Amino acid sequence: MINSLSDTVELNNGTKIPGLGLGVFQISEKDTPSVVKNAIVNGYRLIDTAAIYGNEIGTGKGIKGGLKAANLSREDLFITSKYGITTSLTTKQSLNSMPVLTGLI
């Protein structure tokens, strides 16, 4: 049972992932950096996004700022993204967006 941000779920391969995460759907690109940063500082370790949300740059900035403010490394976070049949993104384009999401560029 998930009761707090530190609770995890174990996957079949033994990896433990956070049971709760921050979803950035419908957060404006302008507000996303501060929302994501504050979430990380306050204990969120899973950030869920999608290219179709249109806020990946802000999400990446928030991740970068949150990691720095919380003295964490990229390996401390789970970042999930998705694309669907209604988007024109290819798998390669989606994977290429990961440096943006992780604040590396």
The pLDDT assigned to 101 comes to 63
Does residue 3 belong to any structural domain of this protein? no
Place of tokens 């990446």: 60
The pLDDT assigned to 86 comes to 58
**Catalytic entry in 22, 33, 49, 53:** 53
| pTM (two decimals) | 0.82
The pLDDT assigned to 50 comes to 86
The pLDDT assigned to 92 comes to 61
State how many domains the chain has.
1
Predicted confidence (pLDDT) per residue in 41-59, tens digit = 999 999 999 888 888 889 9
Extract the tokens encoding 96: 């290429």
Does residue 34 belong to any structural domain of this protein? yes
Does residue 2 belong to any structural domain of this protein? no
CA distance linking residue 15 with residue 58, whole number of Å: 28
Q: Show the domain range for 20.
A: 8-101
Does residue 1 belong to any structural domain of this protein? no
Does residue 67 belong to any structural domain of this protein? yes
Predicted confidence (pLDDT) per residue in 79-100, tens digit = 998 766 655 556 566 666 666 6
Based on the residue annotation, tell me whether 44 is a catalytic residue of this protein: no
Q: Phi, psi (5° rounding) for residue 85?
A: -70, -15
91 by DSSP, 3-state: which? helix
Does residue 83 belong to any structural domain of this protein? yes
pLDDT over 90 (residue 33) = yes
Closest CA to 103 of 53, 54, 68: 68
Q: Phi, psi (5° rounding) for residue 80?
A: -110, 140
